[in-house]
C-alpha cells in the first residue's frame, strides 16, 4: 500500500512536471488529478482538450439524444420542465428555458462593475480568487467532455478558450449551497460565453489585466457569443466543479502541512532533548499496526537518526533525564498524526473520483437513448472530504501549538531561556507575543474545524431540503490552511531560534566544563589526586548542568553568581564524602573566580555566535538541519537577539518570511526531502 509520503511526493513531482511543460494535463473525462488542478489553477498550466474524433462523436451523439427527447411526449427535467420545486411546469421553448435558468441563478452579490474598473480589497473579498476560477473551469470541462451531459462541442471549445486566454469570470464568493451543484458560480462563468453585458471577467496580463464586460471580452478573444440550446445551460451549471476544484487545492495544501507536521515534530524532539524511544518499530509495526501510525513513527525515526540532540534511549544517570518519558506532544506524535494521514488519504480517494465524474442531472445514456434522472450534483462526498481535511488540520495545529508552548516555557524546555530569549530575560521577551499570536491562530482553526454540513438549511421551495454546503466547506478549509501555515511559520521560527540557543548552550558548556575542572584543581592543590577523579567531576558537572538549566530566567550579570553559590554546597558535600577538609577561603575564592570566568565565557560565546554559519545549529541537528539551513539561508530569517542594536526588523516580519514561503515550491521540496529515504544516493 502506498504511503502518505509517497502520495505527496508524487503530487509535488507532477505539479512541477506540469509547470515545466514536461507533461500536459488532458481534459478527457478520466485522467484529471489534484496535481493537474493545482498546476492549472496556480501555475497557469494550459490543459489540452481531447479532441479526438471518437470524443467528438460521443459528444454529438449525446446532444442528439437530448434533442430527440426534448420533442418527445415524456417530459425531461430542465429541458421541457421548470427547475427544482418548479418542475411542475412544462414548455417547448427549450432555448429560452436555459436563459431563464442562468438569469435566476445570477443572484449573488458582486462589486458594481464597469469595464476597466480597479477593484478595492473589499470588493475583491466579494469574489472568487482568480486561481480558483481557472480550476473550476478545468474541472467542469473534464465532466462535460464525458459525453453524459448533452453539451455541444462548440460550448466545450468556448469554455476551453476562456482558459487558454487566461480569462477569469467574476464570480460571487458567497451564494452556493452546493445542493444542485454549484449553480451560482457556474452560472456566472457560463454566462460569459453568452456575451451577457452585465457579467464581467478579468482579462489581460500584468498591469494590463482588467475587468471587462462579457460582450467586450468575447470580441477581444475572437469568440462569438453562444446561445445555449436544450439542456446546455443546465449541463454547465448543474455540477460540483466549483466545490471540487476548491477542495482539490485544499487537498494539496493539507498534504504538505501533514508532511511538515512530522518534520516539525522531529525538530521539536531535538530542541526539547526528547527521546527516540517512542518511535521504535516494535511499538508501531508489531504492537499497534495502524498504517498511519507506522508511517509517522518511521519517518520521525529516520529524521532523528543522525541527531546529536535527541536521545537514542533513556539513561538514568543523565542529569537532564529525570522525566522518565517525554510529554505527550512528543511521545504520542505517531498515534496523534497517524490517523490524520489516513483521513487525508481517504479524502484524496474521494476527490480523485469526483474529479472524473459526471455530476449534473439528468445524465445522458447514449447507448440506451435515455436521460437518467437522479442527484449526482449532490456534493456531499466533497463535503465529507473537506471536513476530514479541516479536522486533520486542527489536530495538526493543536500538536504544533502544544510543542511550541513547551518550547517557550523555561520550566518545561530542558534549559532553554524563557520565550527563547537570547538577550537578558529582564528586557528580552522575544517570542512571548508570538506565543499569543499562535494561540489566536489555533483558536480560529478550532472554530473552523466544526462541520459545515450540520448547518444545512432547507432551500428552494423545500426541494433542496438537504444540501451539501461543499463549496462553503472548501472555502473554510482553505482558510484553515492559511491559519495553519501561520501557526507553523511561528513554530518554525521558534524551532530555529531554539536550535541556535542549543548550539550556544553546547559551545558554552564546552568552554565552562574545562574551566570548572581547571579552577577546582587550581584552588584545592592539597586535595589528593584520586579524590579529584572523573567521577568527582561528573557529579559536580551534572549539578552545574541542573543549576544552569534552572537559572535561564535570570540575567547573566547575577545568574552565574547564584549558580556558583549553589554549586558551592555540592562541592562541599563531595569533599565531605571523600573526608577531605579544605579552607573556606579557598572555596569562596573558587566561587568568585568561577563566576567571573563563566560570565566572560557566556558573553563571549553569545557575541561571537553566527546563526546560519557552518558552525551553527546544522552541526547538532539531524535531517531537520536542512530546514534550518533553508530558513536561515535562502529565506534570510534572522535570529532575534533581544537587543535593538541587532534586531532591525520585527519578529512578525521574520515569521512572515516563512509564512510567504509556503506558497513556493521550495518549501514543500525541503520538507519532503527531509522525510524521504536515500537509496543509492538518490531520493
Rounded-to-integer distance, Cα 432 and Cα 436, Å: 7
Q: What are phi and psi of 275, to 5 degrees?
A: -100, 150
Rounded-to-integer distance, Cα 133 and Cα 325, Å: 50
CB 180 within 8 A of CB 373: no
Rounded-to-integer distance, Cα 479 and Cα 407, Å: 26
Rounded-to-integer distance, Cα 400 and Cα 262, Å: 10
Assign 225 to helix, strand or coil.
coil
Helix residue ranges, H only, 84-120: 94-105
Cell of 506: 553546547
Cα 47 vs. chain centroid, distance in angstroms?
26
Burial class from Cβ neighbours inside 10 Å (0-12, 13-18, 19+) for residue 374 reads exposed
Rounded-to-integer distance, Cα 323 and Cα 315, Å: 11
Half-sphere exposure of 402 (CA within 13 A, CB side): 18
Give, in degrees to the nearest 5, the angle at Cα 313 between 309 and 318: 70
Q: Which of 77, 328, 447, 609 is catalytic?
A: 77
CA distances (Å), 526 to each of 352, 522, 531, 580, 586, in order? 80, 10, 11, 9, 11
Rounded-to-integer distance, Cα 653 and Cα 552, Å: 26
Q: Which helix (H) or strand (E) holds 168?
A: strand 168-169
CB contact burial 585-614 (16+ within 10 A = b; e otherwise) = eebeebbeebbebbbebbeebbeebebbee
Q: What are phi and psi of 12, to 5 degrees?
A: -65, -40
Give, in degrees to the nearest 5, the angle at Cα 98 between 94 and 103: 145
Assign 201 to helix, strand or coil.
strand
CB 235 within 8 A of CB 370: no
Rounded-to-integer distance, Cα 614 and Cα 441, Å: 34
CB atoms within 10 A of CB 145: 26
CB 658 within 8 A of CB 635: yes
Residue 200 is among the residues annotated as catalytic for this protein: no
Assign 177 to helix, strand or coil.
coil
Rounded-to-integer distance, Cα 385 and Cα 343, Å: 8
DSSP assignments along 349-402, one per residue: HHHHHHHTS--SSSEEETTTTEEE---TT-THHHHHHHHHHHHHHHHHHHHHHH
Lookup result for grid cell 493545482: 38
Give, in degrees to the nearest 5, the angle at Cα 434 between 430 and 438: 155
Q: Which helix (H) or strand (E) holds 48?
A: strand 48-49
Cell of 495: 524551532
Q: Which helix (H) or strand (E) holds 200?
A: strand 200-203
Give, in degrees to the nearest 5, the angle at Cα 475 between 5 and 177: 125
Q: Which residues are catalytic?
A: 77
Amino acid at each position: 500500500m502506498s504511503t502518505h509520503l509517497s502520495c505527496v511526493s508524487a503530487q509535488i513531482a507532477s505539479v512541477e512536471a506540469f509547470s515545466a511543460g514536461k507533461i500536459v494535463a488532458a481534459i478527457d473525462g478520466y485522467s484529471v488529478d489534484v496535481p493537474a488542478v493545482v498546476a492549472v489553477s496556480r501555475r497557469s498550466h494550459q490543459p489540452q482538450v481531447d479532441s479526438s474524433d471518437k470524443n467528438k462523436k460521443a459528444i454529438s451523439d449525446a446532444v442528439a439524444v437530448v434533442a430527440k427527447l426534448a420533442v418527445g411526449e415524456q417530459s425531461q427535467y430542465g429541458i421541457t420542465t421548470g427547475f427544482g420545486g418548479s418542475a411542475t411546469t412544462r414548455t417547448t421553448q427549450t432555448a429560452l428555458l436555459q436563459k431563464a435558468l442562468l438569469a435566476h441563478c445570477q443572484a449573488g452579490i458582486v462589486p458594481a462593475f464597469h469595464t476597466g474598473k480597479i477593484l478595492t480589497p473589499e470588493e475583491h473579498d466579494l469574489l472568487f480568487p482568480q486561481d480558483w476560477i481557472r480550476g473550476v473551469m478545468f474541472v467542469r470541462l473534464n465532466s462535460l467532455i464525458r459525453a453524459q451531459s448533452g453539451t455541444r462541442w462548440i460550448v466545450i471549445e468556448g469554455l476551453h478558450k476562456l482558459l487558454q486566454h487566461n480569462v477569469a469570470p467574476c464570480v460571487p464568493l458567497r451564494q452556493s449551497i452546493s445542493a444542485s451543484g454549484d449553480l451560482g458560480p457556474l452560472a456566472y462563468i457560463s454566462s460569459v460565453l453568452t456575451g451577457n453585458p452585465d457579467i464581467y471577467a478579468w482579462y489581460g496580463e500584468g498591469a494590463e489585466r482588467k475587468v471587462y464586460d462579457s460582450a467586450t471580452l468575447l470580441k477581444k478573444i475572437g469568440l462569438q457569443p453562444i446561445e445555449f440550446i436544450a439542456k446546455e445551460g443546465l449541463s454547465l451549471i448543474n455540477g460540483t466543479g466549483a466545490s471540487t476544484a476548491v477542495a482539490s487545492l485544499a487537498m494539496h495544501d493539507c498534504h504538505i502541512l501533514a508532511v511538515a507536521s512530522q518534520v516539525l515534530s522531529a525538530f521539536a524532539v531535538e530542541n526539547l532533548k526528547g527521546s527516540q524511544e517512542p518511535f521504535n518499530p516494535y511499538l508501531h509495526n508489531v504492537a499497534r499496526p495502524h498504517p498511519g501510525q507506522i508511517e509517522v513513527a518511521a519517518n520521525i525515526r529516520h529524521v532523528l537518526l543522525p541527531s546529536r540532540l535527541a536521545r537514542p534511549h533513556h539513561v538514568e544517570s543523565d542529569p537532564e533525564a529525570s522525566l522518565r518519558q517525554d510529554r505527550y506532544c512528543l511521545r504520542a506524535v505517531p498515534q496523534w498524526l497517524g490517523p490524520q494521514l489516513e483521513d487525508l488519504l481517504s479524502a484524496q480517494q474521494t476527490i480523485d473520483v469526483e474529479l472524473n465524474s459526471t455530476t449534473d442531472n439528468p445524465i445522458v445514456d447514449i447507448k440506451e437513448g435515455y436521460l437518467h434522472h437522479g442527484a449526482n450534483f449532490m456534493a456531499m462526498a466533497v463535503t465529507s472530504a473537506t471536513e476530514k481535511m479541516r479536522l486533520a488540520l486542527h489536530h495538526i495545529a493543536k500538536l504544533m501549538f502544544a510543542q511550541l508552548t513547551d518550547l517557550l516555557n523555561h520550566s518545561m524546555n530542558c534549559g532553554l531561556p524563557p520565550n527563547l530569549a537570547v538577550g537578558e530575560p529582564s528586557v528580552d521577551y522575544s517570542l512571548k507575543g508570538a506565543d499569543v499570536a499562535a494561540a489566536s491562530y489555533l483558536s480560529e482553526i478550532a472554530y473552523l474545524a466544526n462541520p459545515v454540513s450540520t448547518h444545512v438549511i432547507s432551500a428552494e421551495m423545500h426541494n433542496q431540503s438537504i444540501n451539501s454546503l461543499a463549496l462553503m466547506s472548501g472555502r473554510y478549509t482553505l482558510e484553515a490552511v492559511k491559519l495553519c501555515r501561520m501557526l507553523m511559520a511561528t513554530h518554525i521560527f521558534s524551532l530555529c531560534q531554539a536550535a541556535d540557543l542549543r548550539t550556544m548552550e553546547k559551545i558554552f558548556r564546552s568552554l565552562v566544563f574545562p574551566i570548572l575542572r581547571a579552577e577546582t584543581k587550581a584552588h584545592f592543590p592539597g586535595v589528593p589526586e584520586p579524590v579529584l577523579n572523573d567521577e568527582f567531576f561528573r557529579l559536580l558537572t551534572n549539578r552545574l548542568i541542573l543549576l544552569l538549566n534552572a537559572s535561564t530566567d535570570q540575567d547573566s550579570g547575577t545568574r552565574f553568581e547564584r549558580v556558583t553559590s549553589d554549586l558551592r554546597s555540592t562541592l562541599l558535600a563531595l569533599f565531605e564524602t571523600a573526608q577531605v577538609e579544605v579552607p573556606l577561603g579557598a572555596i569562596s575564592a573558587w566561587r568568585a573566580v568561577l563566576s567571573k570566568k563563566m560570565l566572560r565565557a557566556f558573553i563571549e560565546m553569545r557575541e561571537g555566535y553566527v546563526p546560519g554559519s557552518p558552525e551553527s545549529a546544522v552541526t547538532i541537528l539531524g535531517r531537520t538541519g536542512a530546514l534550518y539551513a533553508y530558513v536561515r539561508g535562502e529565506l534570510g530569517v534572522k535570529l532575534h537577539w533581544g537587543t535593538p542594536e541587532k534586531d532591525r526588523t520585527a519578529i512578525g516580519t521574520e515569521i512572515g518570511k516563512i509564512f510567504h514561503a509556503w506558497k513556493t515550491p521550495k518549501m514543500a521540496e525541503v520538507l519532503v526531502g527531509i522525510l524521504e529515504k536515500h537509496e543509492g544516493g538518490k531520493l
